[in-house]
Each structure stands twice: as structure tokens, then as C-alpha cells.
Structure 1
Amino acid sequence: MSLQAWYMDCSPEDQRKPHRLSPDQPASLEQLQQLGVFHWKLNADIYETDPELQQIRTDRGYSYMDIITIQKDTLPNYEEKLKMFYEEHLHLDDEIRYILDGQAYFDVRDKDDRWIRIAMSKGDLITLPAGIYHRFTLDETNYTKAMRLFVGEPVWKAHNRPADDFNIRQKYVTSLRES
């Protein structure tokens, strides 16, 4: 099954709900790629030995890896962390996540500043480019296990919006105009 993504409504309802527009407005993989968001579907059952994952890591220089489980009874300060992940922000480096189990959403801004929700499930690997405004949340299952990948040492710093004065944000916006 291919990745599902759609434009979101502005409802203040629980962030874990799908928030689809009515009528539904899907977003294609091509639309995501134009934003610099890339996706692979891998076999998460063999992530420790998967040659396809190893090739992606080698090709892209993802030398650092760790695994995080996000659920109420394993993540300290669970509710606060979920609120923090859902704050609109950007990073100075790419964000790379691989869902090993469970489900989650990444929301990204399009060229017109509209939210696109990306439904992630087991086997989905996604890269978000440095400088893109985004946020993360679980879905209503309240569980995901994800691999976090980085080029070199991990950088955990999120810069909440507004962060338009960062060079990486200006570079990203310029790349959107050129595509």
C-alpha cells in the first residue's frame, strides 16, 4: 500500500484524529517530493539486516541511528512531549524517521502554507528537508516505534515558528520557488 497524505481541516479537535477536509483532498507523492519530502516503503520486520535500508543509509550518509517508542507507559512526560512534537517547527538538518511499528502522522506545510497530513505506518521511511515547517503526532492508536536517523551527530534542536530568519529556511523557500 502506498503512502497516504491529504490536506487538513482547521478543526481544533484532538490532534490525533485524521483531520481530513470534506470533500477529501489527497496529496500525491509527487506533491510531497516537490516540497522535498521523500518516502520509501521498507520491510520493518528485518530492519536490523535490511540491505535496502543499509543502502539508503550509505547513499545518504545516515551514520547515527536510535530507536524511540512513543506510548503513554514508556515515554516520560508523554502528554507534554506530544504537545511539544506538535508545535510547528523546523530543524537546521533533515529529519529522517522510519516507522518500525505502530502509526503516526507528520504534518508539513505546502508552498501556500497549507497543512498536508502524512499518515505513517510500519515500514514507512520519510525524510523532511531542513527548513520545512512541520509537526508530528500519534494517531488515535497512541503508539509508534520509530528509528531516528541523522547525518553525523544527532541534532535535537527544534526552532518553533516563526523561524524565517534562519539561512536554512530562506534556502528552503528559495528551492520551492525554483522547483
Structure 2
Amino acid sequence: MAIDEEVLALAEPDSAEESSLEAWYMDDTDLDQRLPHRKNPNKPCSVDTLRALGVLSWSLDADNYEEDAKFKAVKEARGYNYQDLVNCSPDTMPGFDEKIKMFYEEHIHADEEIRFVLDGSGYFDVRDLEDKWIRIECTKGTMIVLPEGMYHRFTLDTKNYIKALRLFVGEPVWTPHNRPQDEHPSRIKYLESMETCQTTAATA
């Protein structure tokens, strides 16, 4: 069934002008993963750069998301028909230390990774096409989509707390495929999509 044009328009990811998302290229130190790890001087990464890598984001109403027209539009337009809640902190997550280590292992998924932060904060780290790490700060109200096949990892920040919705198309599959996965079909698909985007941009 065709999706209404108004829904599609409302579901568009935030532009650079609309977005409050902050991201930066990471330093190379081995200090606590929960620290910001900014370069000195800081080297920001723009929303446009993230979008070119396939990372999409929205700023939504985390307190009233069930009634938020934009959240509903994003779900409808992108086919997200499953959601659950994850509460990540030392007090609420069994095996917290092991889980945090697992989340921070570099990996890909065979589907998009979608998170909507309802409270707390954390960092998604993603690889650019030159294999450099970009750290994306996700705070209350941030909804983020990482594309299938993109190398990434997640960590809490020093507050040690995040509550987020996980969304999915169809039956949820959370299986991480740890790097190296260069022959994985999803990784190949991602790199081919990046080549197509670069070719299109070059000929525009």
C-alpha cells in the first residue's frame, strides 16, 4: 500500500540545519571508552557527512513519543513494525560489564540498527570510508539509524545509563557479526551502495 506523501515528508531525517546531533572524529588513545575521545583540537563531523555514510537521525519528543506525529510517520514510512525497550545501567541490566564489552566490539548487522533514546545518553562509533572512527553523541530525543553492513560499536558515557527503544522491520534479529566481515553479503551491499552514492554525486 502506498504511503501518503505527507507522511513521507514528515518522516524525512533531520537536515544539517534542523539537527542538534553532535559528532566528531575520535582520538587514538586507549583511555576509558566512556570518555568523549575528541581530538585536540576537536575535529567535528557534520550531519551531511554522516548522511553520506548512510547514518540518519531525527530529534523527537522522548516524553510523548507515543503521540508524536513525526515518530509515527518515521515508523510508517520505514516499515518499523516491532519495538521493545532496553534499559542499560549497572542496576538494571544483568551481566552489565560483559554486555558493555560486547557492545563495544566492532561489528556489523544484516539489518539496519535503529535506536530512539528516551532517557540517558551514550555514543555510537561508526567507521567512515577511510576506516576512521566517528563518535556520535546520542542524547534524550535522538533517534538514529545505522545502515546494514556498516562497521560500528556502542558504549555508554560516564553517566552509565541509557533507556532506548529498539525498532525493527519484521521479526527482530540482533545478531552482531564481529569484524572482519568483508565477505559478508551485508558488508558488500553497504560498500556497493557507497560506491553508487559517490558516483551519483560525482556526476551530479
TM, length-normalised to structure 2: 0.86
Moved >4 Å (runs of 4+): none
Q: Which residue of 1 aligns with 2:5?
A: none
Q: Distance in 2 between matches of 1:178 and 1:171?
A: 11
Unaligned runs of 5+ in 1: none
Shift of 1:65: 0.1
Q: Secondary structure at the match of 1:173?
A: helix
Give the AA of the match of 1:88.
Answer: E
For 1:19-63, what per-residue CA distance to the aligned partner results, in whole angstroms no more than 9, with x for missing partners? 000111000000000100000000101012212111100000000
The one of 130, 138, 159 aligned to 2:148:
130
Paired with 1:80 and 1:48, the residues of 2 have a C-alpha distance of 32
The reply on whether 1:45 has 2:59 as its aligned counterpart is: no
CA distance in 2, matches of 1:91, 1:112: 20
Whose strand proportion is higher, 1 or 2? 1
1:31-70 equivalent positions in 2, closer than 5 A: 31-70=49-88
Alignment deviations for residues 41-100 of structure 1 (CA, whole Å, 9 cap, x no partner): 001010122121111000000000001000001000000000000000000000000000
What displacement does 1:178 show? 2.3
Identity of aligned residues (%): 55
SS at match of 1:44: coil
Q: 1:166 aligns with which of 179, 184, 187?
A: 184
Determine the C-alpha separation between the residues in 2 that align with 1:34 and 1:142: 30
Which structure has more relative contact order (CA 8 Å, sep 6+)? It is: 1
Structure-2 separation of matches of 1:154 and 1:50: 23
Cα distance between partner residues in 2 of 1:171 and 1:48: 33
Give the superposed CA RMSD: 0.8
Distance 1:48 1:175 in 2: 33
| SS across alignment from 1:125 | strand
In the other structure, the counterpart of 1:105 is 123
C-alpha separation between the residues in 2 aligned to 1:50 and 1:79?
Answer: 34
Quick check: 1:15 aligned with 2:33? Answer: yes
- 1:77 and 1:178 map into 2 onto residues whose CA distance is 42
Q: Which residue of 2 aligns with 1:142?
A: 160
Cα shift at 1:177: 2.0
SS at match of 1:48: helix
Matching residue of 2:136: 118
Q: Measure the CA separation in 2 of the matches of 1:93 and 1:76.
A: 26
- Normalised to the residue count of structure 1, the TM-score between the two structures is 0.98
For 1:80, the aligned partner's letter is E
Amino acid at match of 1:41: S
SS across alignment from 2:158: coil
SS at match of 1:174: helix
Residues of 2 paired with 1:2 and 1:156: CA distance?
28
Separation in structure 2 between the aligned mates of residue 166 and residue 42 of structure 1, nearest angstrom: 33
